[in-house]
Amino acid sequence: MRLLVTGGCGFIGSNFIHYILEHYDPEFVTNVDALTYAGSIDSVAGLAARYGDRYEFFHADIANADLMDELMRKHRFFAVVNFAAESHVDRSINSPQNFIHSNVVGTSVLLDAARRHGVRRFVQISTDEVYGSLGSEGRFTEQSPIAPSSPYSASKAGADQLALAFHKTYGEEVIVTRCSNNYGPWQYPEKLIPLMVINALRDRRLPVYGDGLNVRDWIHVADHCAAIVTVLLNGRPGEVYNIGADSELTNLDLVHRILDYLGKPADLVEFVTDRLGHDRRYAIDSSKIRAELGWKPLCTIDKALPATIDWYIANRQWWEKLIQ
């Protein structure tokens, strides 16, 4: 089968392409990416040489209907897996229109092209941020109300609802996944973990929003990729699946783990003005995907976070090009 993977040069998308080509022979992957600031062609370098015609790259904006139509005429895709998105909350506050273009318009174009060209499945990759903020207790379930707090999460919520509407209206086999915070290799340096690792390696201040007690539920990207493949192959159309690893940490705890592992002093932490609309806590209830589809996370943050830090140490040349 051939998959159309959009946003495949971004963090999660590139890890997904590596994962499925390595574990699922003879799947074929067409990677579409606009190569905006967070898309790195280096993250998929060597795939064409390694996998031959099982992998191809197509440079395009998913909101370009003509190009998406051309691509879907070229291949008979089994499924679209839509990672393509602007995803940084701070940038969405400053430039919300860019997020509407990629996350809402782009998803609409893909859904319509997939419907017209007979693509069997459409997996919409979303985020737990569409649910808004939690108090000190409880977890988001698939039945939790949608209550986005930023232009980014609002645009993702809109894309999710549009995708599910295509299932109800046209019968498309649409499935939505909503995952907690990811970490792992190839993550753009503006995100929390790589930013803190890189600043610590350079003996620079580590900016922590507010009091640092905002809580996030962390999952290694390899576990997320495995969950997406499980949903792609066995998920029920029209359903939403939450994906999480039960690894809640405050931002401050996470930063101190990074500093401790690198042997850097705690006084590198610098508390800065809190972000607008900063959600206090996220926590995912992933019991549905575990019970229905048999998925479970294999990575623990105690082991996978040090391995992630080591990756950024070993791949300094990659991130130095991005932050110059």
Following CA atoms 307, 278, 39, 313 in sequence, which dihedral angle do they give, to the nearest 10 degrees? -30
Sole residue written with tokens 């405050």: 250
Other CB atoms within 10 Å distance of the CB of residue 289: 25
Taking the C-alpha atoms of residue 100 and residue 85, their distance in angstroms, rounded to an integer, is: 9
Phi and psi, residue 165, nearest 5°: -65, -35
β-strand partners of 181: 218
Looking at residue 78, what DSSP letter applies?
A: S
pLDDT the model gives residue 279: 86
Q: What is the pLDDT of residues 68-102, one digit of tens each?
A: 999 999 999 999 999 977 645 555 455 556 778 88
Q: What is the pLDDT of residues 33-65, one digit of tens each?
A: 998 877 889 999 999 999 999 999 999 999 999
| Burial status of residue 218 (CB atoms within 10 A of its CB: 0-12, 13-18, 19 or more) | buried
pLDDT the model gives residue 91: 55
CB-based contact 39:10 (threshold 8 Å): yes
Tell me how far apart the 2 most distant CA atoms of the chain are, in Å: 57
pLDDT the model gives residue 92: 46
Q: Give the domains, in start order, of the chain with CATH numbers.
A: 2-184+220-244+279-298 (3.40.50.720)
CB-based contact 241:303 (threshold 8 Å): no
Q: Who's near 252: CB < 8 A, 6+ residues apart?
A: 208, 211, 212, 213, 269
Catalytic residue numbers, as ranges? 128-129, 152
pTM reported for the whole predicted model: 0.94
| pLDDT less than 70: residues of the chain | 86-97, 324
CB-based contact 81:31 (threshold 8 Å): no
Q: What does the angle CA 52 – CA 58 – CA 60 come to, to the nearest 5 degrees?
A: 170
CB-based contact 251:275 (threshold 8 Å): no
Structure tokens at 245: 């690893």
Give me the numbers of helices (H) and strands (E) for the chain, helices first please: 13, 12
Following CA atoms 26, 32, 33, 39 in sequence, which dihedral angle do they give, to the nearest 10 degrees? 0
CB-based contact 78:30 (threshold 8 Å): no
* Residue 29: alpha-carbon gap to chain centroid: 18
